[in-house]
């Protein structure tokens, strides 16, 4: 009779199965096409709302004297228009790029705002931006040398406030676009 052969105990290690993981290149982090779409959306909505307000103001002008606090009312309405326009622009930029990550959404919203500021600086440098700011008071007769410092200080603080408001609205709009519930609803229609 043959003796039983001795068996060695062999320990089998687990075999690692390679898993394909997507590699995201840094160029895939941004969608400049969607950022431009957001910029054009923000700019278009702002112009449309401003023209509606202008038309409504011109319709009411012959029938009423302007109130004493017309500057305050105009500033509030303009701020509201900026917030709505840039929230829509940030939303479009994030939604069109299919962004679901909040960090990328913030970047898309911020770049909508930053691109607008860059475009605005180009327009001002070309002489076309005078109608967009409080500096037009210099040419309307409200300008006096004694009040120049106050006028430009007020314009600077107002500009800072509107720029920060626009940036916050663009980022908030971009973050709203990342909501799963909203994306599920919107994809049914588009």
Q: Check whether 40 has a pLDDT greater than 70.
A: yes
- CB atoms closer than 10 angstroms to residue 129: 16
**Comparing 145 with 114, which gets the higher pLDDT?**
114
16-25, 47-56, 127-136: least confidently modelled range: 127-136
pLDDT, tens digit, 9 for 90 and up, residues 41-98: 999 999 999 888 888 876 666 556 666 777 777 788 888 999 999 999 999 999 999 8
The CA R_g of the chain, rounded to the nearest whole Å, is 28
Ranges of each domain in the chain: 31-189
How far apart are the C-alpha atoms of 8 and 41, rounded to whole Å?
Answer: 73
Comparing C-alpha atoms, which of 80, 51, 74, 166 is closest to residue 117? 166
The DSSP result for 27-88, as a single string, is GGG--HHHHHHHHHHHHHHHHHHHHHHHHHHHHHGGGSPPPTTHHHHHHHHHHHHHHHHHHH
Model-wide pTM > 0.75: no
Comparing C-alpha atoms, which of 46, 188, 31 is closest to residue 101? 31
């Amino acid at each position: 009779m043959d003796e039983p052969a001795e068996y060695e105990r062999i320990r089998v290690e687990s075999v690692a199965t390679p898993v394909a993981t997507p590699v995201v290149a840094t160029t895939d982090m941004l969608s400049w096409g969607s950022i431009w779409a957001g910029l054009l959306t923000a700019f278009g909505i702002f112009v449309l709302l401003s023209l509606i307000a202008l038309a409504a103001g011109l319709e009411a002008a012959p029938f009423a004297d302007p109130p004493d606090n017309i500057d305050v009312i105009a500033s509030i309405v303009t701020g509201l228009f900026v917030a709505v326009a840039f929230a829509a622009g940030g939303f479009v930029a994030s939604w069109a790029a299919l962004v679901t990550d909040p960090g990328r959404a913030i970047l898309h919203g911020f770049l909508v705002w930053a691109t607008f500021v860059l475009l605005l600086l180009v327009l001002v440098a070309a002489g076309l931006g005078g109608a967009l700011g409080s500096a037009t008071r210099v040419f309307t007769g409200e300008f006096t040398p004694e009040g120049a410092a106050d006028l430009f200080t007020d314009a600077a603080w107002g500009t800072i406030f509107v720029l920060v408001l626009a940036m916050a609205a663009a980022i908030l709009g971009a973050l709203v676009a990342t909501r799963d519930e909203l994306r599920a609803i919107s994809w049914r229609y588009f």
